[in-house]
Structure 1
């Protein structure tokens, strides 16, 4: 039996395409019979990695974010690509490409739809352990990234104090905390 809140999609087309995402327009019929259109960002699934070094520090990135006009501290993240064998492989690839770190064990933390009112993307969060630097990075043409490490408790404090505002990082750290206990490093 269908949900009485369900919209019926009668047509769908891409109105705009750019590297990384499309803007899609769906023609829809609402439950009361009203016909209208609905635009949203159509983008691939993404992975977000909370990477711990063998010493328990977290590998973080500082990256220029044009949409907010500043450098943002965050975690390695990126789109799942067709060449990725599975989601953990995508997490390992993104960590390596953005930071030059190779992950030991990788485990799934949770999945979320961070902006499902305006985008269809699903973000898959992973914890990577025993991450070691190889120094070999492979940044995309439009990435400006500086890599460093920080203590987990310092990252947690920055998230809680609002100093780290990157939504993916906030979700990863708070999700990790809810599953592993407040303030305990790995």
Structure 2
């Protein structure tokens, strides 16, 4: 099958910079018109984002310092997958426990997206977690400053609508859930 006429050919690839969590990759590419140019992008492992509901239907959120934007950010628990993760659900359960100290009775897949595929190879897998209860202490990474809070789904939606909640992963996960989850799924909170 011939390549799509829009596709680029990778001529050369090297890692320009590496640090814990991601790499910056530099590629020499050939464009459809034959022009060769450089293209840089961020490369990172797949990650999981969890929309965790308590048995009472509240959402377990985190408030975390975000150095890049210089403020505390409210959002959903998110974390990268590890090489020894058996599956994405195991990664979601681990990240939920590490960041919030909560465990879920059940998890279900919500959606998988490429949140910034113009500048990154990131893939994010969203899950809905139900029956979340605190069972242990947080196990934060050395560079995480996280406070756990609970709020209603309605409050999250209101914060998204007003622009007060700006975390893209949270906006996407909550909005997708609100738009596409069935009423039966929503009542199962």
- Give the TM-score range, shorter chain: over 0.9
Task: Provide TM-score, normalisation by structure 2.
Answer: 0.95
Q: Give the direction of change, closer, same or farther, for the CA distance of 1:181–1:161 in structure 2 (3 Å limit).
A: farther
SS at match of 1:171: helix
Equivalent in the alignment of 1:74: 75
SS at match of 2:6: coil
SS at match of 1:170: helix
- Quote the Cα distance in structure 1 between the aligned partners of 2:96 and 2:33: 47
Q: What is the number of equivalent residue pairs in this alignment? A: 186
Unaligned runs of 5+ in 1: none
The correspondence of residues 122-141 of structure 1 with structure 2, limited to 5 A, is 122-141=123-142
Equivalent in the alignment of 2:63: 62
Equivalent in the alignment of 2:16: 15
Equivalent in the alignment of 1:107: 108
Equivalent in the alignment of 2:175: 174
Which segment is superposed worse, 148-157 or 33-42? 148-157
Task: Provide TM-score, normalisation by structure 1.
Answer: 0.96
- Quote the Cα distance in structure 1 between the aligned partners of 2:86 and 2:138: 20
C-alpha contact (below 8 Å) 1:8/1:29 kept by paired residues: yes
Q: Give the direction of change, closer, same or farther, for the CA distance of 1:126–1:149 in structure 2 (3 Å limit).
A: same
- Quote the Cα distance in structure 2 between the aligned partners of 1:124 and 1:71: 24
Structure 1: which 4+ aligned runs deviate by more than 2 Å?
A: 180-186
